[in-house]
């Protein structure tokens, strides 16, 4: 139950539509339409002698139908007349993509049914060919690395800024990108991530201008920013700042189904015919219409009701942030952490709760909230937990989270939750510089590899990525030469038990290296 008086002003919006009904600006009436949903409705009643095999649910295991609901099966239609073709849209998908382009400020939008990863791959392969240089920040998501591998491009890395208290990487600033452009004047594009997972974001406008002066495209992994356009308190969206193509995780932040994402393109720098061809190479010929309809509906909801829904989410998040900062030992960063390189703005609906002052790790906090309160946060790392506040959350849920956090601090004080954050883990040593690239990442993963002991890996060429948390910036990419400094750093990482992701051997006893090099 909600026991926080300040939260009472945010009642649970049981049905969020009446909350905002009638406020849709008249020029957006076209956005009331949901072409894919309409086509699915029209398909009802047709006798089905076609795929999928479950025949609208009649051929599915009854347990599946009772668990998922008949509608999930009835609407799981693909590749029949009237339902359009995602590869060559000309009907309901074309209409829906056009509405999405208008809503998100793009010239053209593609619906991705392979997550934001699929959108990133399409975007990168539309611009990059084998041997082309692409400017990327070192703290990319693995989908960007796979785009580099698939395209055969050469990465030119920009180091992101790093916040040593919070323990995570921020964005890249315009000066660093400009320096990288000078060093790589023939680069084809930059592929940047903005905002970061933790919600910090940079002003992309000067970066876009610098790239465009050199005919380089700005591609943006905006996985965590599909809502930015719909509320003025949120950071400026990449397309408005001058990006040429943007991948957005509609399933991550707004109401689409998991996997459903948008790929937007704007301007003339990107060859749209090539993008369409690449999209076809990478996309299933049997896309799920549940995913496609959810992209259509997420667009409708954002255009018609986004502003009010986000207003509500921002209010909940502001209350949460303030309340967390009143709990001794906890800290939720806000505006005061901005205005430095790599962090111009913050999406306030991302609430990072730093627990390091309690002497525990974020991993412990996550486990406590889950096991004792049935609360699951988005992620935890050594110092923090990350909570994403959405208009799908209620004030009661915020209240429950605050109760859980207070109980956590009490459990630490009583010794029930042991202080596992070692003092040595509080100051992470500086990372070694960007290693020398001996082979293009694609070549490095294509070649045979072998496993060697960490201490015997100096001078060898890595065949895998190694990232440790903090700082969440990869130490090694495939194709990079393993230096003495990198190995020494990994020894420290092992000793301090930092989180490790990427390598097959998470203990870092061994590394995968390219054979014969």
User: Which residues contact ligand PLP (rule: CB under 6 A)?
Assistant: 115-117, 141, 143, 193, 197, 221, 223, 249, 261
CB nearer ligand PLP, residue 2 or residue 194: 194
Give min distance, CB of 27 to ligand PLP, in A.
31
Give min distance, CB of 203 to ligand PLP, in A.
18
CB nearer ligand PLP, residue 349 or residue 395: 349
CB nearer ligand PLP, residue 143 or residue 394: 143
Residue 436 makes CB contacts below 8 A (sequence gap 6+) with 480, 481, 483
Give min distance, CB of 193 to ligand PLP, in A.
5
Give min distance, CB of 369 to ligand PLP, in A.
21
CB nearer ligand PLP, residue 117 or residue 200: 117
Give min distance, CB of 259 to ligand PLP, in A.
6
Give min distance, CB of 250 to ligand PLP, in A.
9
φ, ψ for residue 379, nearest 5 deg: -160, 165
How far out from the chain centre does Cα 97 lie? Answer: 21
Give min distance, CB of 282 to ligand PLP, in A.
12
- Residue 1 three-state SS: coil
Residue (of 463, 441, 467, 439) closest to 452 by Cα position: 463
Report yes or no: 136 and 123 within 8 Å, Cβ to Cβ: no
Question: Closest residue (Cβ) to ligand PLP?
Answer: 115
Q: Could you give the CA distance from residue 287 to residue 95 in angstroms, rounded to a whole number?
A: 17
Q: List, in sequence order, every beta strand (DSSP E) within 80-127.
A: 108-112
Residue 286 makes CB contacts below 8 A (sequence gap 6+) with 51, 52, 78, 79
Residue 194 makes CB contacts below 8 A (sequence gap 6+) with 171, 201, 202, 204, 220, 221, 222, 225, 238
Residue 67 makes CB contacts below 8 A (sequence gap 6+) with none
CB nearer ligand PLP, residue 97 or residue 222: 222
Buried-exposed string 273-298: b where 16+ CB fall within 10 A, e elsewhere: eebbebbeeebeeebbbbbbbbbbbb
CB nearer ligand PLP, residue 84 or residue 222: 222
CB nearer ligand PLP, residue 113 or residue 317: 113
Give min distance, CB of 143 to ligand PLP, in A.
5
- Residues paired with 219 in a beta bridge: 191, 245
CB nearer ligand PLP, residue 263 or residue 476: 263
């Amino acid at each position: 139950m909600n026991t926080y008086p300040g939260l009472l002003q945010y009642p649970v919006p049981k049905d969020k539509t009446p909350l905002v009904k009638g406020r849709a600006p008249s020029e957006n009436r076209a956005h009331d339409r949901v072409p894919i949903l309409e086509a699915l409705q029209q398909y009802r009643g047709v006798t089905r002698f076609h795929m999928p095999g479950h025949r609208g649910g009649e051929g599915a295991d009854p347990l599946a139908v009772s668990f998922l609901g008949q509608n999930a099966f009835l609407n799981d239609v693909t590749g029949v007349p009237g339902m359009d073709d995602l590869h060559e849209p000309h009907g309901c998908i074309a209409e829906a993509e056009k509405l999405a382009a208008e809503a998100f400020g793009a010239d053209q939008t593609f619906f991705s049914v392979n997550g934001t990863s699929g959108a990133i791959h399409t975007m990168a392969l539309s611009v990059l060919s084998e041997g082309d240089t692409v400017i990327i920040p070192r703290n990319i998501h693995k989908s960007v690395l796979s785009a580099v591998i698939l395209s055969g491009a050469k990465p030119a890395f920009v180091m992101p800024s790093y916040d040593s208290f919070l323990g995570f990487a921020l964005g890249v600033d315009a000066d660093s990108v400009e320096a990288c452009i000078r060093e790589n004047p023939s680069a084809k594009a930059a592929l940047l991530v903005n905002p970061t997972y933790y919600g910090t974001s940079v002003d992309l406008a000067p970066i876009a201008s610098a790239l465009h002066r050199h005919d380089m495209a700005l591609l943006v992994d905006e996985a965590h920013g599909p809502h930015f356009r719909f509320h003025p308190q949120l950071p400026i969206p990449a397309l408005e700042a001058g990006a040429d193509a943007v991948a957005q995780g509609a399933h991550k932040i707004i109401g689409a189904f998991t996997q459903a994402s948008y790929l937007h393109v704007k301007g003339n720098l990107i060859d749209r015919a090539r993008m369409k061809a690449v999209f076809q190479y990478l996309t299933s010929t049997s896309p799920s219409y549940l995913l496609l309809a959810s992209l259509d509906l997420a667009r409708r909801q954002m255009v018609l009701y986004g502003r009010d829904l986000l207003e509500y989410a921002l209010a909940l998040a502001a209350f949460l942030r303030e309340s967390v900062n009143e709990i001794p030992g906890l800290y939720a960063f806000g505006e005061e952490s901005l205005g430095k390189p790599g962090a111009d703005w913050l999406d306030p609906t991302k609430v990072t709760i730093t627990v390091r002052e309690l002497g525990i790790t974020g991993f412990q906090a996550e486990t406590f909230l889950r096991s004792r309160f049935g609360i699951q946060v988005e992620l935890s790392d050594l110092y923090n937990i990350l909570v994403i506040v959405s208009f799908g959350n209620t004030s009661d849920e915020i209240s429950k989270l605050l109760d859980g956090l207070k109980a956590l601090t009490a459990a630490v004080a009583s010794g029930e939750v042991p202080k596992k954050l070692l003092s040595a883990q509080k100051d992470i040593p500086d990372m070694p510089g960007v290693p020398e690239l001996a082979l293009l990442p694609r070549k490095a993963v294509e070649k045979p590899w072998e496993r060697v002991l960490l201490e015997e890996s100096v001078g060898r060429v890595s065949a895998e990525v190694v990232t440790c948390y903090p700082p969440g910036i990869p130490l090694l990419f495939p194709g990079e030469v393993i230096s003495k400094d990198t190995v020494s750093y990994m020894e420290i990482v092992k000793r301090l038990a930092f989180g490790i992701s990427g390598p097959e051997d998470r203990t870092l006893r061994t590394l995968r290296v390219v054979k014969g090099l």
